[in-house]
């Protein structure tokens, strides 16, 4: 698919082009539609808010399934940002329209279509799994709907490709999170340059899992590293013991993994129950393997794991200290990277809208305003790469430690200003 022919576009409404449901589903290659989760709507602005046109933001997130806690974390961060800003962005009262995709692409496709056709949202945010981000790309592009991706890291979503399969760059898509390359390539390059060159791979067998493994391998091979084998459990795998047993039955001690959410919890618990630490195996991975949503469940079982990510709860800057304090005041737990991504997505949208006086009617002007956004984030300096719409960000090498009764990722090194290559 190299864009849209005129037969693919629905009737023009103002600035927005919309697909019919049939055309959208064909474009997204969704084989069937699952039942749409109910949309929950938060209250609008407080009574004291200045009069203004309501800003409607569609939030496409998982609240059930393997990534449910990720969706919950992102919802907490969204509502925290609004709470701290009088329920407004750029002085416009905000209505949030939530849709639960349950980590099912067809369900998410249907919800995105509802956001476009029925809810007529001004902006869409969210999306955790890469296949769903790829699935909705064409409809978002055709509708000129600003979509700020606050998690899904599939490389193709913001890269130039020749045929847009499975996706390709759209001017209306931004990322407040990461690309697979930004998370996975640097740690492969870093470890092999330091002399740790032989790895076995374990990763969830779906879009982002396979991309993470491939990007890590590319970085590893840059300095003469090798991959000796792999296991690839299905996403939402119910039993990791058979796969961890395969790891234990092979000789390579260094294991790079991509798992997240409930899968990461299951993997780490099996890793320990089957005695891999005592047998000398060392756990490495993309940072989601040991994020705070996982550590609050596995605690010191992950001690010693080394991962790469653009944030850690221990990151020492004023913005992060305030964010962690605000989050803990609102909720009885430490924030995680998913909260940071969503919070930064809200902040980026707020800053762009402020520069336009809150006006969302001209999507191309809003694109330019987002491209120009810069601010101090809990992760550090935040800005978008204008050529890819990915953030430019430092990547931290982190080691899990339990200290003062809390298990956290401690920062051991930094790879500065990592950008996605965009091709």
- The answer to whether 312 and 398 have CB atoms below 8 angstroms apart is yes
d(CA 365, CA 356): 8
Looking at the DSSP assignment, which residues form a beta bridge with residue 174?
A: 148
d(CA 206, CA 396): 25
Predicted confidence (pLDDT) per residue in 36-87, tens digit = 333 343 433 333 334 479 999 999 999 999 999 999 999 999 999 999 999 9
Answer whether residue 410 shows pLDDT above 60: yes
The mean-pLDDT minimum among 21-35, 118-132, 314-328, 364-378 falls in 21-35
345 versus 6: which is more confidently predicted? 345
Looking at the DSSP assignment, which residues form a beta bridge with residue 395?
A: 415
Predicted confidence (pLDDT) per residue in 254-303, tens digit = 999 999 999 999 999 999 999 999 999 999 999 999 999 999 999 999 99
Looking at the DSSP assignment, which residues form a beta bridge with residue 182?
A: none
State whether the Cα torsion 210-265-308-382 is positive or negative.
Answer: positive
pLDDT (0 to 100) of residue 327: 98
DSSP 8-state symbol, 51: P
Answer whether residue 393 shows pLDDT above 80: yes
pLDDT (0 to 100) of residue 52: 73
Predicted confidence (pLDDT) per residue in 306-343, tens digit = 999 999 999 999 999 999 999 999 999 999 999 999 99
pLDDT (0 to 100) of residue 162: 80
Answer whether residue 15 shows pLDDT above 50: no
d(CA 240, CA 250): 16
CATH code of domain 6-178+320-391: 3.40.50.2300
CA dihedral 12, 373, 82, 144 (to 10 degrees): 10
Of how many residues is the chain composed? Answer: 423
d(CA 111, CA 61): 10
Predicted confidence (pLDDT) per residue in 227-262, tens digit = 999 999 999 999 999 999 999 999 999 999 999 999
User: How much is the mean pLDDT over the chain?
Assistant: 90
Superfamily of the domain at 181-309+394-418: Response regulator (3.40.50.2300)
Q: What percent of the chain has pLDDT over 70?
A: 88
Q: Return residue ranges of the chain for CATH 3.40.50.2300.
A: 6-178+320-391, 181-309+394-418
d(CA 216, CA 286): 9
Band (pLDDT 50/70/90 cuts) for residue 161 is: confident
Alpha-helix residue ranges (DSSP H) falling in 230-358: 241-248, 261-273, 292-298, 318-330, 337-355
């Amino acid at each position: 698919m190299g864009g849209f022919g005129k037969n693919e576009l629905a009737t023009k409404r103002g600035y927005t082009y919309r697909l019919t449901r049939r055309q959208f589903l064909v474009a997204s290659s969704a084989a069937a539609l699952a039942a749409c989760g109910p949309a929950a709507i938060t209250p609008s602005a407080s009574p004291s808010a200045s009069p203004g046109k309501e800003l409607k933001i569609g939030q496409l997130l998982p609240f059930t399934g393997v990534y449910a806690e990720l969706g919950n974390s992102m919802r907490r961060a969204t509502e925290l940002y609004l709470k701290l800003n009088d329920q407004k962005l750029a002085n416009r009262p905000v209505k949030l329209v939530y849709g639960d995709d349950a980590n099912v692409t067809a369900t998410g496709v249907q919800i995105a279509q509802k956001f476009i056709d029925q809810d007529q949202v001004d902006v869409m945010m969210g999306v955790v799994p890469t296949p769903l981000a790829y699935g909705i790309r064409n409809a978002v592009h055709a509708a000129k709907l600003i979509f700020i991706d606050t998690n899904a890291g599939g490389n193709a979503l913001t890269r130039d490709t020749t045929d847009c399969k499975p996706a390709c760059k759209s001017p209306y898509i931004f990322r407040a999170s990461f690309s697979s390359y930004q998370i996975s390539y640097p740690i492969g390059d870093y470890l092999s340059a330091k002399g740790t060159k032989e790895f076995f791979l374990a990763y969830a067998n779906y879009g982002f899992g396979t991309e993470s493994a491939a990007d890590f391998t590319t970085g590893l091979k840059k300095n003469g590293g090798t991959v000796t084998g792999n296991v690839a459990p299905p996403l939402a795998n119910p039993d990791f013991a058979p796969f961890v047993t395969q790891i234990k039955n092979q000789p390579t001690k260094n294991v790079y993994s991509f798992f997240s959410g409930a899968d990461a919890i299951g993997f780490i618990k099996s890793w320990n129950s089957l005695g891999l630490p005592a047998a000398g195996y060392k756990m490495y991975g993309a940072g989601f393997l040991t994020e705070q949503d996982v550590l609050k469940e596995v605690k010191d079982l992950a001690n010693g794991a080394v991962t790469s990510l653009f944030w850690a709860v221990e990151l020492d800057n004023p913005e992060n200290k305030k964010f962690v304090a605000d989050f803990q005041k609102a909720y009885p737990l430490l924030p995680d990277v998913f909260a940071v991504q969503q919070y930064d997505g809200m902040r980026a949208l707020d800053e762009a809208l402020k520069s336009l006086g809150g006006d969302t009617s001209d999507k191309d002007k809003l694109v330019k305003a987002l491209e120009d956004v810069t601010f101090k984030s809990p992760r550090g300096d935040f800005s978008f790469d204008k050529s890819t719409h990915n953030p430019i960000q430092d990547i931290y090498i982190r080691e899990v430690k339990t200290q003062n009764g809390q298990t956290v990722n401690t920062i051991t090194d930094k790879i500065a200003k990592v950008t996605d290559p965009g091709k």
